[in-house]
Amino acid sequence: MQSVLTPAPSASGSEFPILDLAAFERTSGFLDPDAIRSYMQTLIDRSDLLLREIRDQAPAAAGTGDLVESAHALAGSASLLCFQRLAFAARSYEQAVETGSPEIPARIAQLVTAIEASLPEMQSRASR
């Protein structure tokens, strides 16, 4: 049995790079450049959608299923494409909802910040 567990996340997330460039270069070496651009565009669309969903939600509905599903999907894809800060923020939010943490509003704010910080890099990668 081999288990490789993720490190325990810290409270902030700003210690993670927006894009882990070295990891991204290692990963992108195994992918078609055209496909990478398409993945980036999907990641942008998902980020935009999640931002809209967050902004359209009433504060009381911050832990609803749709939002968590969107954040879960974004966490996985951002992680796979090495957008570490966004992956961490989305996962932190997801965990806060799962555990009923009172930090949900703070995690949402962190997620919004991470999305806004990551979008320019995604757009840059999508246009290469």
The contact set with other proteins (CB under 8 A) reads 1-6, 23, 26-27, 29-32, 35, 39, 42-43, 46, 72-73, 75-77, 79-82, 84, 87, 91, 94-95, 98
Q: Any alpha helices (H) in 33-99, and if so which ranges?
A: 33-56, 65-80, 84-98
Least distance to other proteins from the beta carbon of 87, Å?
Answer: 7
Toward other proteins, which CB reaches closer, 14 or 42? 42
Name the minimum Å distance from CB 58 to other proteins: 26
Dihedral angle over CA of 98, 103, 105, 107, nearest 10: -70
Amino acid at 7: P
Nearest C-alpha neighbor of 82 from the set 127, 30, 34:
30
**d(C-alpha 52, C-alpha 121), whole Å:** 19
Of the pair 54, 75, the CB lying nearest other proteins is at 75
Three-state secondary-structure class, residue 34: helix
Shortest separation between residue 82's beta carbon and other proteins, angstroms: 7
Nearer to other proteins by Cβ, of 57 and 79: the residue is: 79
Smallest separation, CB 33 to other proteins (Å): 11
